Structure 1
Amino acid sequence: MMEIYIPSILLPLISFITVYISTPYISKRLEEKNIVGIDLHKKGGLKIPTAGGIALLLGFTSALTLAGILDLDAKALMLVYITATLACLLGLLDDLLTLSKKTLVLFSILIGTPFLTYHKGSTFVTLTPFGPQDLGIAFWPLALLGVAFLANSVNIYAGFNGLEAGLGLITSTSLAISATLYGSKESAITLSTLAASLLAFLKYNYYPAKTFIGNSGTYMTGA
């Protein structure tokens, strides 16, 4: 039991503390570099530091680096680690360079390529109400499109203070509970670690926001 409970508490705790401490520092540096966005929902159009997803990535990946010493499936967590990093980098590029929609879609699909590299399991999926179905070769392109869809779906509903991080917190917490009930230890720990990161970030992103999550954070959360 201890091998389940220790990572379930330790990793989210590390993630929470890292994001909570690093966000003000990162926000200050972003403001100094004029990496800011206009808050359209406040009088005067205040300039708010954006790309706060950097702090989320720092906290999330810092916690996942402990996977190897906590007897978790390091291979599965490395997949999450790489995918989250690629998604955050794509969002950061968009924050800085304002990429075209076509470029974003293309690179969003490529974010899922680590999944193809590491996944060598079954191509069966459960499609309610049809039960388990073998998608065969169609599984692979659908997996790539699935990652791209999830990354962009979070990015699309951005716009209000605390909305992206708040909904991400609700979603990741719900999925963590579901993963726990299904006995998927690594998934539960990964999702609870993400939830802890988002909870800490909400301290600075909830209205009135002191920093924006940016595309770096929305893409990472979705992926």
Structure 2
Amino acid sequence: MICPQIISVGSVGRALNTSIILQTIIPLLILPALLTHQTTKLLMTHTKLVARDLHKPGQPRIPTLGGLAILAGIPPPLTLVYLTTRQAEYLATAATLAAVATIGFLDDLYQFKQTKKVALTTLASTPLLLLPLLGRLETTILGYNIGLLYYPIVILGITGAANATNMLAGFNGLETGITTIATIGILISALITNNTNVATIATITLVALLTFLHHNHYPAKIFPGNVGTLQMGAIMACMVILGKI
């Protein structure tokens, strides 16, 4: 009578371990690293859009559009976590990144004027603007309900952060490195405040950024392009807004 019980408990334990692996380790660590790495390698060998690296002897032409690897490494795992948890913050963040990535990609191809790029970036804040309307996010900060102020804060936050990070481009790995450091700080803050959603987003982001930084630090083998820098700023803004940091 004891053996079946032991077997049953062991089976439950293995099932729980499998569940933890499927729901945590794969989407948080393995998937963003794998998707970012493979997409980066693909872009390094196949992209035809290049830029001169002014900080290397001879100013070689370096593949750009590396931000597409970030697009591959962050939104899909976030969407997977959303499908598991049904927490709208994950889907809203993924949608925001997809929107700014589209704007950045088109900017890389057609060189938008700064005013047009800023105007288009404001539209990318729409997913986060919908969260309070759908009852998925409280607009209370430090005990005070900011109400309608939430909306201009989100628009200015995402637009400002995305375009500010975009203007940082200049040195190999600079934008990626700064965003990585900021993400570590946000992750620590989220863990201290027990904000699981933001901690999850930050973990996925950190893994993807570190994977991309391996190819982007000096001497850079690929540049993020506007498609990457806009995403870096937007993801920081999303985490700060959702975490009320």
Q: Choose the corresponding residue for 1:122, options 138, 154, 159.
A: 138
8 Å CA contact retained: 1:8, 1:189: no
- Greater Cα offset, 9-18 or 150-159: 9-18
Summarize the Cα distance change of 1:5–1:211 in structure 2 as closer, same or farther, 3 Å threshold. Answer: same
Q: Map residues 1-223 of structure 1 onto 2, 5 A cutoff.
A: 7-10=23-26, 11-30=28-47, 33=48, 35-68=49-82, 70=84, 72-120=85-133, 121-126=137-142, 132-223=143-234
8 Å CA contact retained: 1:12, 1:196: yes
User: Shift in Å at residue 4 of structure 1?
Assistant: 7.9
8 Å CA contact retained: 1:49, 1:212: yes
User: Shift in Å at residue 111 of structure 1?
Assistant: 1.0
TM-score under structure 2 normalisation? 0.80
8 Å CA contact retained: 2:101, 2:227: yes
- Cα distance in 2, alignment partners of residues 69 and 146 from structure 1: 27
8 Å CA contact retained: 1:37, 1:49: yes
8 Å CA contact retained: 1:8, 1:192: no
- The letter for the 1-side match of 2:200 is I
- The letter for the 1-side match of 2:73 is G
Higher relative contact order (CA 8 A, sep 6+): 1
Flag the structure with larger Rg: 2
- Greater Cα offset, 206-215 or 10-19: 10-19
- Cα distance in 2, alignment partners of residues 118 and 54 from structure 1: 26
Summarize the Cα distance change of 1:4–1:220 in structure 2 as closer, same or farther, 3 Å threshold. Answer: farther
User: Shift in Å at residue 182 of structure 1?
Assistant: 0.8
**Residue number in structure 1 paired with 2:240:** none
Aligned length: 214
8 Å CA contact retained: 2:82, 2:91: no
- The letter for the 1-side match of 2:45 is K
- 1:18-57 per-residue CA deviation (whole Å, 9 max, x = no partner) reads 1112211122221xx3x11111111222111111000111
Where does structure 1 differ by over 4 angstroms across 4 or more consecutive aligned residues?
A: 1-8
TM-score under structure 1 normalisation? 0.88
- Cα distance in 1, alignment partners of residues 206 and 171 from structure 2: 19
Structure 1 unmatched ranges of 5 or more: 127-131
Structure 1 vs Structure 2: percent identity of aligned residues?
A: 33
Aligned-residue Cα RMSD (Å) equals 2.0
- Greater Cα offset, 9-18 or 85-94: 9-18
- Which secondary structure does the structure 2 equivalent of 1:119 belong to? helix
Summarize the Cα distance change of 1:122–1:65 in structure 2 as closer, same or farther, 3 Å threshold. Answer: closer
- Cα distance in 1, alignment partners of residues 194 and 139 from structure 2: 20
- Cα distance in 2, alignment partners of residues 107 and 22 from structure 1: 26
User: Shift in Å at residue 8 of structure 1?
Assistant: 4.9
